[in-house]
Amino acid sequence: MSTARQLPTVAFIGTGVMGHSMAGHLLDSGYPLVVFNRTPEKASDLVARGARWASSAGEAAVLADVTITIVGYPTDVEAIYLSSDGIISRARAGAIVIDMTTSTPTLALRIAEAASARGISALDAPVSGGDIGAREARLTIMVGGDEAAFDQVLPIFQVLGKTVTHMGGAGFGQHTKMANQIAIAGTMLSVVESLAYAKATGLDPQRVLGAISAGSAGSWSMSNYGPRILAGDMAPGFYVKHFIKDLRIALTEAQTAGLDLPGLDLAKRLYERLAEQGGEDLGTQALWKLYGG
C-alpha cells in the first residue's frame, strides 16, 4: 500500500450505471485511477479526464494498490477474480481487492480464501442507494472481511458513501446486502400498491404521494421512486434483472438458514413476471407496470 503522503492507485472495474459515478468521485478526489469495462465506451470520458485504460480486469489489478469491482452477476465476479488471468492471480502481494457487486456470501468467502493464499486482502462491500446515491456520493456501504484491510481503505469508501459499516468477516457484507434487498422488495411492493389504490379509487396520486410520504408511511423508495413512477420514468437506477438476481440469492440464503420468507418469495415472483413481459432492463420502480401503470 502506498504511503500516507501519496494516495494509492485504484483500479476500478465496471463503469456502468453506478460504477461510472463512483469512479468519477475517486478521480475528483485525486486518486490515480485505472479503469476497465467490457464496453470501453462507458469508460471513455473517465479516460479523457485522466484515468488510465487497462485491457482486462487482471491487467488493471497489476497496476493498482486497491482494486474495486462492481459488475453484474456472481458469474461475472467469479470470472474476473478467479480465472487464470484474473484479479487474484495478477494483483500484487499486499494489495486490497474490493468487490462492491451484490453477489453471494459463498463466493465472497472463496475469493477471500484465494486472495489470502496469495498475500492479498479481499473485502466484500456491496452498496445500496442506486444511481442517485452513486451520483451524489452518499451510498450505504456494507463491508465484510479483514478489519485491518477495512481500516486501510476506509478513506476510499468515504469518498463513495455516507454510511460505511464493517459488518464482520468475509461474506458478511453480502449477507447484510441481502437483508437490505429483502427490505427494499417489500417496500417497493407497498409503494406501487398504495399508488395503484389511489389511482383506482379516483384520488389524485400526486397529492396522495405528497400527503403520505411525509408521514409514517414515508420511505426512501416512496420519496425517490414515487415521483418517477407517476411521471412514467422507468429508467434504471437499478435494473430489474439485477434485482431478480439479488432476490434469488436472498431466498437461497434464507432457505439455507432454515428461514421461510413468503413476502420475499412473492416479490421475486412479481419481478420475474415483469421480466417475462419485457421489463428486465427497466428500473425496479417498473413493478408499477403490473398494476396497469
Residue 279: CATH number of its domain: 1.10.1040.10
| Contact predicate 100/122, CB 8 Å | no
Beta strands in the chain (DSSP E): 10-13, 33-36, 52-53, 66-69, 96-99, 121-124, 127-128, 139-145, 161-168
Q: What is the pLDDT of residue 61?
A: 98
Q: Is 1 a member of any domain?
A: no
Quick one: 186 and 235 in the same domain? yes
As a whole number of angstroms, the distance between CA 130 and CA 195 comes to 22
Quick one: 92 and 233 in the same domain? no
Quick one: 225 and 160 in the same domain? no
Domain boundary among 169, 204, 228: 169
| Contact predicate 100/111, CB 8 Å | no
As a whole number of angstroms, the distance between CA 181 and CA 146 comes to 24
Quick one: 150 and 185 in the same domain? no
- Which CATH number do you get for residue 121? 3.40.50.720
Domain boundary among 117, 136, 169: 169
User: Residue 196 CB: number of other CB atoms within 10 A?
Assistant: 17
Q: Is 281 a member of any domain?
A: yes
Amino acid occupying residue 179: A
Quick one: 93 and 144 in the same domain? yes
Q: What is the pLDDT of residue 4?
A: 44
Quick one: 161 and 97 in the same domain? yes
| Contact predicate 34/9, CB 8 Å | yes
Q: What angle do CA 283, 22, 138 make, to 5 degrees?
A: 75
Which phi and psi (to 5°) does residue 106 adopt? -60, -45
Q: What is the pLDDT of residue 2?
A: 45
Write out the chain's pLDDT in tens, 293 residues: 544 459 999 999 999 989 999 999 999 999 999 999 999 999 999 999 999 999 999 999 999 999 999 999 999 999 999 999 999 999 999 999 999 999 999 999 999 999 999 999 999 999 998 888 999 999 999 999 999 999 999 999 999 999 999 999 999 999 999 999 999 999 999 999 999 999 999 999 999 999 999 999 999 999 999 999 999 999 998 899 999 999 999 999 999 999 999 999 999 999 999 999 999 999 999 999 999 87
What is the pTM for the complete model shown?
A: 0.91
Please indicate whether residue 177 is annotated as part of the active site. Answer: yes
* Tally of structural domains, the chain: 2
Quick one: 233 and 95 in the same domain? no
Q: Is 114 a member of any domain?
A: yes
Domain boundary among 137, 169, 201: 169
Q: What is the pLDDT of residue 5?
A: 59
Q: Is 189 a member of any domain?
A: yes
Quick one: 80 and 158 in the same domain? yes
Q: Which domain holds residue 254?
A: 176-291
Choice among 42, 162, 177, 199 that is catalytic:
177
